[in-house]
Amino acid sequence: MANCNGMVFHTQIASIMEVLANAAVAEICKLVDDDYAVFRLEMSQSQKENRTLRRKLQLVEMKVSRERAEGTMRERALASRPSSVKILDRYRGMARGEGHLTEGHRSFVKPMKNNSWRDDQSITVDEGSGTSTQHVIVIESADAEAVDPGVKMERSEGDEDPQHSRDIQTGAPSVATEDPITAPVQPRTRSSITEVSGTPNVVLKSKTDTETLTHRLLHTGSDHRSDPERLGCPSAPGSEYLLVFHQSQRTVHSRGDGDGDTLDTGGDDPSCSYTTEMDPGNISLGLETQTDLSRGNWNQYSSSVYSEGCLDKKGEVIIVDEVTVKVEGDASSTWNAESHLGDGHSQGRDFLDYRESLETNTNVVTHSPIHAFRDCDPVSTSMEPSDSHSGVLFDQVLNSNDRARAQTQGGGATSGNSKEKRFLCMFCNKGFSCPQKVEIHQRVHTGVKPFSCTQCHMRFAQARDLKRHQRVHTGEKPYSCPQCEKRFSRQDHLKMHLKVHTGERPFSCTHCGKTFSERSYLRIHQQKKHSTLQHKK
């Protein structure tokens, strides 16, 4: 029983405590509410007082300003008519942030036709939650056109509402931001564009332009050596080259423009279609090329050859050569080196003529380049389908053609002193001791590059070149400088580097005596400094 009584007692105490607690909470809340109401009342009263004082201050200011303005008007009336609006100090102060001006003050100044004062002209000024009426004194100008510039100057000099500031700045600056000519020269960051332009649409557009530009800059600035596709050249297995040899000249000429344009696209990455997307000219270019090749079903061919589906724009142009070759493989035999030439490329045309003249000479024992292809096929076929670089190929052909001709003119095969060199190049008549050497040499003319790198699709005419090139990927640098421990992948580079330590400068300019460590430096120097002398000679 005692336990029961104790439990009842505890229960009663708990209930009483709860009631007391609730009562205390209620009383606290009531007190807070009351104090809050009082506080709010005091606040409102203070605000009313503030408004009253403010109006009084405004009235005083108005009076003072009116007195000043009347004095000024009298002076101006004596001097000349006013040329611009003068906004009172009151407004200037607000413009600097002392007041809070928003859209309401857009109608702040109105040009009037009379040089008269208007008192108590009111404008609506947003003061946060509500609006209040501000009395402003304005000196009105009779010349409305003269007003606006002055107003803008007044607004722009203070820290106004950001929105307003943006409204002002989105005039000429935003136009400059959208200017497609200006933008590429000075790519802006996204943030800076946002600051200037203000409106989301402009920001978006500017951003797009900037990114486009960035893409272009990045890709056009990339090292072409790293990507043989740069010049729009196909991957051509030996068999393809073989057919290239029998391409018709008509086709060759028809493709000249397309290839020439392809060289200018500057695209590098086959997986990147930015040039096609961004530059409509490139698109039309590609279509033009297609149309030009309408004689052959080159689309079908390309899809069969490049089944990987990564047929980019360059690939399209690249394939053109091979497709045409396929379709017109039975045409008259004229090597298509000129297919890589733009119209009017005299070097290539000369080469073509040269080639034709050689072909007519049946007395020359030539080694057909076709055999050279066959010899190299095992290497090329082991590689994945890749684009060869006909642009490089083209350059090589031209350079090698020049060299070959120089060699021929300088005594290549015709002046050869050895009767053993009875195997003549069919292009330059240079003599070689064995057919294999002729075949290798003729790649200089044909541009055949049977050795392709599996890492970067670079192709080489000689196996040693490929081997040497692969050090680029492996990073192998077996040659080290004994002076500075610098390492090189090639011995000749080390040799050149050693001149840095030895100070050897064997190449001297015949005009100024300046010496250089490399011949190419001398040549560049003479081109830059003494080209006029050479022209005079």
Partner DNA sequence: CTGGGGACGGGGCCC
Partner DNA sequence: CGGGCCCCGTCCCCA
**What residues line the site for DNA (CB under 7 A)?**
221, 223-225, 392, 396, 399-400, 403-404, 407, 440-441, 443-444, 449, 458, 460-465, 467-469, 471-472, 486, 488-493, 495-497, 499-500, 505, 514, 516-521, 523-525, 528-529
| Shortest separation between residue 337's beta carbon and DNA, angstroms | 12
| Shortest separation between residue 175's beta carbon and DNA, angstroms | 24
**Rounded to an integer, what distance in angstroms lies between the CA atom of residue 438 and that of residue 60?**
106
Between strands 423-424 and 487-488, the pairing is unpaired
The number of residues making up the chain comes to 537
Angle of helix 162-169 versus helix 147-156 axis, rounded to 10: 130
Q: Pick between residue 61 and residue 350 the one whose CB is nearest to DNA.
A: 350
Q: Pick between residue 349 and residue 497 the one whose CB is nearest to DNA.
A: 497
Angle of helix 249-265 versus helix 313-327 axis, rounded to 10: 170
DSSP string, 215-229: HHHHHHTS-GGG-GG
**Rounded to an integer, what distance in angstroms lies between the CA atom of residue 475 and that of residue 247?**
41
Cross-strand partners of 89: none
> Which contacts (CB < 8 Å, 24+ apart) does range 218-222 have?
219/266, 219/267, 219/268, 219/269, 219/272, 219/274, 219/275, 220/266, 222/268, 222/269
Q: Pick between residue 118 and residue 529 the one whose CB is nearest to DNA.
A: 529
**Rounded to an integer, what distance in angstroms lies between the CA atom of residue 48 and that of residue 52?**
6
**Rounded to an integer, what distance in angstroms lies between the CA atom of residue 101 and that of residue 95?**
7
Q: Identify the CA nearest to 366 among candidates 301, 306, 432, 453.
A: 432
Q: Pick between residue 74 and residue 495 the one whose CB is nearest to DNA.
A: 495
| Shortest separation between residue 466's beta carbon and DNA, angstroms | 8
Which tokens in the block code for residue 445?
């003319």
| Shortest separation between residue 201's beta carbon and DNA, angstroms | 31
| Shortest separation between residue 529's beta carbon and DNA, angstroms | 6
| Shortest separation between residue 203's beta carbon and DNA, angstroms | 26
Q: Pick between residue 78 and residue 185 the one whose CB is nearest to DNA.
A: 185
Could you give the 3-state DSSP secondary structure of residue 431?
strand
Q: Pick between residue 90 and residue 441 the one whose CB is nearest to DNA.
A: 441
| Shortest separation between residue 495's beta carbon and DNA, angstroms | 6
Which tokens in the block code for residue 85?
């609006």
| Shortest separation between residue 532's beta carbon and DNA, angstroms | 11
Q: Kindly give the residue spans of alpha helices, DSSP state H, lying in 363-462.
A: 369-381, 390-409, 435-446
**Rounded to an integer, what distance in angstroms lies between the CA atom of residue 340 and that of residue 233?**
9
Q: Pick between residue 293 and residue 448 the one whose CB is nearest to DNA.
A: 448
Q: Pick between residue 289 and residue 452 the one whose CB is nearest to DNA.
A: 452
Q: Pick between residue 299 and residue 462 the one whose CB is nearest to DNA.
A: 462
Q: Pick between residue 118 and residue 495 the one whose CB is nearest to DNA.
A: 495
| Shortest separation between residue 488's beta carbon and DNA, angstroms | 5
| Shortest separation between residue 413's beta carbon and DNA, angstroms | 10
CA distances from 119 to 50, 65, 140 (A): 22, 11, 11
